[in-house]
Structure 1
């Protein structure tokens, strides 16, 4: 970067334009093992914040502040351009690619840069113009990969993880034909179910930022939100409740799939969580097994203190602290409870979900180094099929 521009000028040592994003992708994917993996294993990808910038679209205040900088427009446009080239095109089926007007335009001209730039700028100005979420069908398995970054609604009082169009698309795909699928997989880069203390802290923070205890607490809440990365589904309580209800409906009825799984990463470790609906929920608990499967395969190292915090978040003491935060924030508790049924596991690891008919099995392997070899060691093998 220093060979291209003065790093004393914003954005400093971070990427600034499309060319620098291409270098970042090259550096990230250059590792021989990563290159081999991406060349031999089919992939379905979706961006999170670090594909553009840390804490991307955390809040309306964050967005207003960063849009006032002179370098942000080029950064966001370039980030979306490079994502389209390096990740999004590979997510689309052949039929979707053939019908994509931007893909046709780029292929029809010697240099598609300007066409791609106009599309990316339009997607940033009006997120409803571009849908990054997508559907893939693998026999009787439906995968829905959901954009939980660009599709956000950020103004306080209207905050939502998904805008109206995105939420309607997801609801339609999930509920369209219950008998067509044995399994429904929903990819959300951000976990739906967090350790309960983390969930309650994000819900508490969202209430403070929304003014539940006045302006002074709202300003404090915004500082905490950015410092602690409080931006998962729990930080959008209405969206969390609607998504939870959608999953319940997806797993209900005589033709429901065997499993409904939310697949996530982001949190630099792995765990399994399973919800429990109250007996009083309208419509009753789902017949399908509903699960949160979380795994960050190649990730930043997690300090011991953070590992302890993740574990504490699942404990009884952690849950008690969470209930205190909910009361202080003057907000409602979660519409569903959940428990950790696997993990947490730390380190470089791969989680594999094997689906055959209505049977489902989960395997987790971890990378272990010895004096002679690098090995993948199996630490979990479990059936996920709900017992009759």
Structure 2
């Protein structure tokens, strides 16, 4: 009998029509088989890299409009559900054949440190743990069950590790050396990254939740290091560090394995060149190491559209749920960082985004780890800083660059051209009789939650919102909270806007106002689309670890339905 164990997972990732993908990590090479209570199933062999073993199983033959239990077998030995589990059986829930008329529920949030027993700080209760406990009592066939969990960055913290991880690093590094200067308390190598995911995703509530609710993800900076790709000068400084190549290649390779691979639908998986390479290799260690190095190097080519198009691996992705289109953007890896030409996405990827933003849907959701609409005072400060960082006067540029890195002035406002371009895309989409019913930008990163509405120029019919939910399990330092509140106040924002004008900055092409928040506790949010209506509910945790509604807002006006958008 095989002694192979299930280390991480199963993670239910994408459910597309009558197919689903399930991701696992095992303790040894194995054949992974998934069986359902119906006739559906799937099998895959593990692939190996850095001494670790993974599989992505495509389950086929699912009946539409059903909720079926499933089991996972390793070499014909059942390993999931675990014996005596206190949680209900994991299920795969498919949408109906007429899913265009079926409501869509998107659960989202960001920034989750590991559970309290592993951290040095005493954090408020984990909002995703609380949500999992609520879900235990819900019927997966009911309308309250989420269709998708969208995690918007900082799923793990490579640079702010728990006591458990730091003890592991000390033990490991007594026997395995790293390049000079490697941080003692941060992960650097791929095997060290695997411990982060093991620690985070084996939390009992989280493990069950991820096994039964489909999930997609995108990185932010802490999956690699704080301030990742803040500027070209930041990149140049990091590449002078002897340990950085190991860190960045391991961070990107592990992100591909643990997070990005599951973002792809079954057809995209089969076409992905990296997946074909790792599954064809007896040992994919060098394949993934070279991939990580190459993808980071490509970021230096992002300003060169012709060369970028030849080599770039794209982290952004999109999917459709009923009449909702979800487009998730990479805000980190592929930034154009050349002074004077900064952009959140390179030209080729921006063209892909604008193409995907047009199509047949009623609601558009853009996932962006960094908020598009920030508190106005902070927005103007970031735009002012970007303008001075491009100054021909070297002392001015140097001080501005130092400030950019010191206080994380690197959101959409610090890539002003991209900020304006995104507003223009929304204005075009929202104009005319066939505009979508709503456009929402879902974000995290800033460790507080809020709802803001954009006011776009022209005859824009579609309401456009910024929905920020952060953190799931973390907290903003208490002294920072008044400053963040101050950023929303009209008087201080006007003063910073006046400062920006002294640098020759025009007024933003978009105006916006806060409707709810800021809320500084741990939280998750649910965006619900039902026909032409849209509603968001923000829920925070109580001291007892339960969820309570912090804000609830209808995003579409009452009245006759908005005509659905068509090609």
**TM-score, normalized by the shorter chain, greater than 0.5:** yes
- Residue 309 to residue 285, structure 1, CA distance change in 2 (3 Å): farther
| Residue 184 of structure 1: how far off its partner (Å) | 0.5
Does the 8 Å CA contact 2:221/2:332 hold for their aligned counterparts?
A: yes
Cα displacement string for residues 183-206 of structure 1 (whole angstroms, at most 9, x for unaligned residues): 010000000000000000000100
User: Residues 125-162 of structure 1, C-alpha deviation per residue, up to 9 Å, x if partnerless?
Assistant: 11441000001111211100000111101111111111
Q: Deviations over 1:25-79 (max 9, x none)?
A: 2223232232233222211100111111110000010000101111111111100
- Structure 2 contact 454–463 (Cα < 8 Å) conserved: no
CA contact (8 A) 1:268 1:299 kept: no
Structure ranking higher on relative contact order (CA contacts 8 Å, 6+ apart): 2
Q: Which moved more, 1:157-166 or 1:22-31?
A: 22-31
Which structure 2 residues correspond to residues 208-287 of structure 1 after superposition, within 5 A?
208-211=388-391, 214-277=393-456, 281=457, 284-287=458-461
Partner of 1:126: 298
Distance in 1, matches of 2:551 and 2:342, equals 38
With the length of structure 1 as denominator, give the TM-score of the two structures.
0.93
Residue 331 of structure 2: aligned partner:
148
Describe the shift of the 1:59–1:9 C-alpha distance in structure 2 as closer, same or farther (beyond 3 A).
closer
Structure 2 CA distance, aligned partners of 1:259 and 1:270? 20
Structure 2 partner of 1:105: 277
Q: 2:524 aligns with which of 342, 347, 350?
A: 350
Pick from 96, 100, 107: which aligns with 2:268?
A: 96
**Corresponding position of 1:182:** 362
Query: Residues 438 and 462 of structure 2 are in contact (CA less than 8 Å); yes or no, is this contact kept in structure 1?
Result: yes
| Corresponding position: 1:203 with 2:383 | yes
Q: For residues 459 and 401 of structure 2, what CA distance do their matches in structure 1 show?
A: 36
Residue aligning to 2:463: 289
Secondary structure at 1:116 match in 2: helix
TM-score, normalising length: structure 2: 0.64
CA distance in 2, matches of 1:5, 1:116: 22
**Which stretch of the first structure deviates more once superposed, 29-38 or 217-226?**
29-38
2:320 to 132, 137, 140: 137
Following superposition of structure 1 onto structure 2, how do residues 289-308 of structure 1 map, counting pairs within 5 Å? Answer: 289-308=463-482
How many residues are aligned here? 376
SS in 2 for 1:126: helix
Q: Deviations over 1:313-340 (max 9, x none)?
A: 1002221222222123222221111100
1:56–1:149 CA contact under 8 A, matched in 2: yes
Structure 2 unpaired stretches of 5+: 1-168, 300-307, 560-567
Q: What secondary structure does 1:145 align onto?
A: strand
Separation in 2, partners of 1:288, 1:387 = 13
- Cα deviation, residue 387, structure 1: 4.1
- SS of structure 1 residue aligned to 2:436: coil
Structure 1 position 44 matched with structure 2 position 216: yes
Matched, 1:386 2:557: yes
CA contact (8 A) 1:275 1:339 kept: yes
Contact in 1 for aligned 2:181/2:242 (Cα 8 Å)? no
Which of 50, 71, 79 aligns to 2:243? It is 71
- Once residues 237 and 366 of structure 1 are traced to their aligned partners in structure 2, the CA distance between those partners, rounded to angstroms, is 32
Aligned ranges 1:1-80 → 2 under 5 Å: 1-5=169-173, 9-80=181-252
Is the radius of gyration larger for structure 1 or structure 2? 2
Does 2:546 align with 1:363?
no
